[in-house]
Each structure stands twice: as C-alpha cells, then as structure tokens.
C-alpha cells in the first residue's frame, strides 16, 4: 500500500502487511477476522503510521478495502477483479469470455476441493498442515503447479528454493490451520460477489491486471458492472494466479502503470 506520510510529507515506498493468520502476522484467537475486518485493520494501520490517503494492491481478497473507506483510498489495483459474467452477454460471448467460463467450470469440477474443505471444516485439515511437513508441502505445492503459467513444469517459473522459502512461511510459524480459517470466515461472501447476488459497486479508481492462467478472468465489460471507475486495464501475455511470485518484474510494471494514473 502506498500513500502520503503526514509526518514527513514524503511519498511512502510501501507498507506490506500480511493477512492475520498468515506469514508474519499473529494468529487470530477468536472468530471474526474476515476480509472486512482485515480491511478496517489495514486502514487503521496506515493511519497509525502516518498515511492519510493510500493506494492498495491486492489479489482475489483485495476488493473490500475500496468499499470500506473509499475516502481514504486513492485507488486499488486488483489481479483479477472479482466480477461475475454479465447475463446480458451470454448470447454474444467473445472467444476470451467463452474460454474464461470453461476454465471456471473445470476448476469447479476438478480443483475446488481445497476451498470446500477450508471453508467448511478448516480445523480438520489444519491439524495435518501444522503436524506434517509432507502434508503442508503437498497441500500448497499442488496449487502452485495448477495455478501458475508453467506449461506443466512448475520449476520453469518458480525454483525449488523459492517454493521452500514460501513453505517455510507456513511451517515455521505454524500457520497452516490459521490461514485456512480465512476461507471459513469469508469465502461465502466472496462467492456471493462472484455470483453477482451481493456486493455494491466499488467506485474508487481501479486498476485491473488479468493474467492468462488466472482462474478468474472477467472481461472488461463484465468487470465494469462492479467496478465502474476502471482507470487501467491490461491482460499481460504471461503469468498466473501467483503472478507477483512467478513474474515479479511484470507484476511491478502493472502496479506502477496504474498508480501513475491516480497518485
């Protein structure tokens, strides 16, 4: 997240908090840490370190910060914007929209087991994730293999050492269970946004980067129904769900390209 520091009047280089229950953050000791509370916590964090307005970058959990305190958010960059297909377009789909819908159907049939488990019984799998490094490795690395733009050879884009570094952020602090609980807290709400059955429009300036191997790949006309203030839209030629990890230079270019327009 970037902003203007009230104490120094100089632009901030970046504040990079980790989600509660993940990485370097503490584990929530009670229910209630869903995406809206986390968004409020990020706004409070930015205020306490002296930033009046800021821009936020997020992946699929990142929308709500633009809804909660839009007067403080200069813009949000999302990859991708979570937006459902527009029913009015279903008789006039582009080739890219057909491909996006086919990817969603395949993912729902063959790749959604982890999500169903974590959103309904996260503790059950959680005990295994904090007890067995083999279980943790299998649970996480399968998603890297499935969701990266690697052509089936994961190590073309992420090295073994990089994967181990990532896994250790779960293993050493024992966050396999606590991070799974975010799905239990918030996935139903996110699915309502995706289905179009809930969720007010997000009106803050929005930048959208839709990578080719992302599961959610809304077209711009679909996204504009939920994000009516899109200032930047791009569909890079390579990258998947973990674009910031597998294509860091391209990711940085996307973020900078958007925030140059709104700072």
**Residues designated as active site:** 60, 183, 241
Q: In what side-by-side order are the strands of the sheet with 230-234?
A: 2-5, 51-58, 73-78, 206-209, 230-234
- Give first-to-last CA distance, the chain, whole Å: 12
- CA angle (135 as vertex; 132, 136 as ends), nearest 5: 90
């Amino acid at each position: 997240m970037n902003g203007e520091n009230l104490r120094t009047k100089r632009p901030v280089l970046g504040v990079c908090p980790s989600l509660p229950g993940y990485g370097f953050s503490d584990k929530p000791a009670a229910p209630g840490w869903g995406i809206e509370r986390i968004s409020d916590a990020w706004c409070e964090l930015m205020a306490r370190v002296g930033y009046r307005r800021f821009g936020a970058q997020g992946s699929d959990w990142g929308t709500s910060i633009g809804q909660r305190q839009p007067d403080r958010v200069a813009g949000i960059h999302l990859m991708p914007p979570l937006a459902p297909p527009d029913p009015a377009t279903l008789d006039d789909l582009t080739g890219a929209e057909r491909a996006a819908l086919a990817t969603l159907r395949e993912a729902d049939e063959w790749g959604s087991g982890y999500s169903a488990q974590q959103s309904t019984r996260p503790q059950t799998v959680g005990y295994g994730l904090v007890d067995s490094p083999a279980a943790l490795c299998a649970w996480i690395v399968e998603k890297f293999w499935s969701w990266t733009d690697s052509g089936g050879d994961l190590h073309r884009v992420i090295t073994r050492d990089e994967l181990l570094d990532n896994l250790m952020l779960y293993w050493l602090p024992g966050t396999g269970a606590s991070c799974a609980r975010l799905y239990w807290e918030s996935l139903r709400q996110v699915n309502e946004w995706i289905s179009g059955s809930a969720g007010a429009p997000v009106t803050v300036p929005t930048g959208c980067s839709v990578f080719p191997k992302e599961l959610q790949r809304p077209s711009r006309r679909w996204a504009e129904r939920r994000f009516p203030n899109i200032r930047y839209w791009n569909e890079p030629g390579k990258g998947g769900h973990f674009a910031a990890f597998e294509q860091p230079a391209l990711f940085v270019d996307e973020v900078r390209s958007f925030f140059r327009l709104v700072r």
